[in-house]
Amino acid sequence: MAALTREETEALIQEVLEIYPEQAKKDRAKHLAVNDQSLEKSNKCITSNRKSQPGVMTIRGCAYAGSKGVVWGPIKDMIHISHGPVGCGQYSRAGRRNYYVGTTGVNTFGTMNFTSDFTEKDIVFGGDKKLAKIMNEIEELFPLNKGISIQSECPIGLIGDDIEAVAKKANKEIGKPVVPVRCEGFRGVSQSLGHHIANDAIRDWVLENRDGDDSFPTTPYDVAVIGDYNIGGDAWASRTLLEEMGLRVVAQWSGDGTIAEIEKTPKVKLNLIHCYRSMNYIARHMEEKYKIPWIEYNFFGPTKIAESLRRIASHFDETIQAGAERVIAKYQAEYDAVIAKYKPRLQGKRVMLYIGGLRPRHVIGAYEDLGMEVVGTGYEFGHNDDYDRTIKEIGNATLIYDDVTGYEFEEFVKRVQPDLIGSGIKEKYIFQKMGIPFRQMHSWDYSGPYHGYDGFAIFARDMDMTLNNPCWKQVKAPWKTEPANSEAVKAVA
């Protein structure tokens, strides 16, 4: 099917909106748009980061998910207490594939669930005593932990527990960082506020820990990788490239990260931000307080990697700039071979994306390197500044949907008929049952890494094996196949 024109896309949006009652229609209309590259600012065409409408199927998460799941969870040598009832922690346990090295349960705790397991009694009488008690238990059972964070679930804010006081007391007793995070799920409209709260907690409780301590030897080439959560090993694939060009990666935030790395971050020369949405707050804070510049980079697909490596290198001297060129040249044969192999199989295929806060724009380059086209994209919890950055990345007349509802997404897909959809687990089976190839772009569908040159090879292979899988020809029921066939069957009968 040919790409939709601007008018067709606008008509499609109107058609999909038709089903809503007046008020809901008015609200949802603001979140759906047709891309116009001539616009400088996204707020002219799309509204984002607003409360979802009651009654629609939204795919968003909560502030707790943003803090515990995204920012704090991957800090592997700390214990993150899901403070509140047992479910929030248990059902999100180990689901995010943020890989780490270490012995789980001894010196790393990434995939474990620690919870204060609130019951009725704790809601009525308060849970501060219990919290203090479990922190002592943690110290006894897991003495190699390097700190504790308290991730609040909804009831904590509702009953007004003073977790800050408990944290301060525990910090004195056990002599390790104890960080209370006020990330109750009801705060904000999506997980995005959870990222912000988590960033602020790092700012207030961790970042200053080594101010005035110069015992850490620094070099002029120190950088911190921020906002790379090491999904399927992404951060490792990125780190090797940075190290090969001569930089020293002091900290990884927070995939495979440690609290010590975070404390050392104010000593670096440049902060590299991959996930802008979840970590720009802390980068801006460090810029102001420690005068550390920060830049956004993108390690999806060779075009963007080369662009990013050169941009990173431009902040350093000639040795690093030569290093960047050396790295790009070194991997050229490798990624040229990947493109030569997969581009003919994927050329011209059309992709629709609906992901979190970064990938809806970041992965576009990787698809384009493979000759594919992104015909629709949208953020679960992106803000205006994300859409500002998206407008230039995608073609004119591309469909943009913010916080898309289950209904809208299905209708868009039915009409646009993309060759591939990239979204999350909740969307996966709906679209697979509709007979459309699907890749999970949050967890890389249990594959990965996708960052860096190594990741690109895996990305290309995965897209090919999903798109060109013979199973998609078998999806249609035999009695619904071409009439010509049924004629033949009749003739046989």
Nearer to other proteins, 49 or 398 (CB): 49
Task: Out of 28, 80, 182, 195, pick the active-site residue.
Answer: 195
Residues 6+ apart with CB under 8 A from 233: 99, 448, 449
Q: What is the DSSP string of 441-488?
A: SSSGGG----SHHHHHHHHHHHHHHHHT-GGGGG-S-GGGS-HHHHHH
Residues in contact with other proteins by CB under 8 A are 40-41, 49, 281, 284, 287-288, 291, 383-385, 388
**Rounded least distance, CB 484 to other proteins, Å:** 55
Task: Out of 28, 80, 83, 96, pick the active-site residue.
Answer: 96
Q: How far is CA 200 from CA 22, 293, 430, in A?
A: 39, 18, 37
Nearer to other proteins, 188 or 232 (CB): 188
Q: What is the DSSP letter of 42?
A: G
62 is catalytic: yes
**Rounded least distance, CB 43 to other proteins, Å:** 8
**Rounded least distance, CB 15 to other proteins, Å:** 30
Nearer to other proteins, 43 or 469 (CB): 43
The answer to whether 301 and 369 have CB atoms below 8 angstroms apart is yes
**Rounded least distance, CB 391 to other proteins, Å:** 13
**Rounded least distance, CB 383 to other proteins, Å:** 4
65 is catalytic: yes
**Rounded least distance, CB 80 to other proteins, Å:** 25
Q: How far is CA 346 from CA 42, 49, 376, 467, in A?
A: 31, 34, 17, 8
Task: Out of 33, 62, 88, 366, pick the active-site residue.
Answer: 62
Q: What is the DSSP letter of 143?
A: T
96 is catalytic: yes
Nearer to other proteins, 350 or 383 (CB): 383
Helix (H, G, I), strand (E, B) or coil at 377: strand
Quote helix, strand, coil % in the chain, to nearest 5. 50, 15, 35
Helix (H, G, I), strand (E, B) or coil at 148: strand
Nearer to other proteins, 357 or 449 (CB): 357
Nearer to other proteins, 36 or 388 (CB): 388
CA angle, residues 67, 69, 75, in degrees to nearest 5: 85
The answer to whether 376 and 412 have CB atoms below 8 angstroms apart is yes
Strand partners, 254: 228
Task: Out of 33, 65, 275, 313, pick the active-site residue.
Answer: 65
Q: What is the DSSP string of 245-304?
A: TT-EEEEEEETTB-HHHHHHGGG-SEEEES-HHHHHHHHHHHHHHH---EEE---SSHHH
Annotated catalytic residues are 62, 65, 96, 195
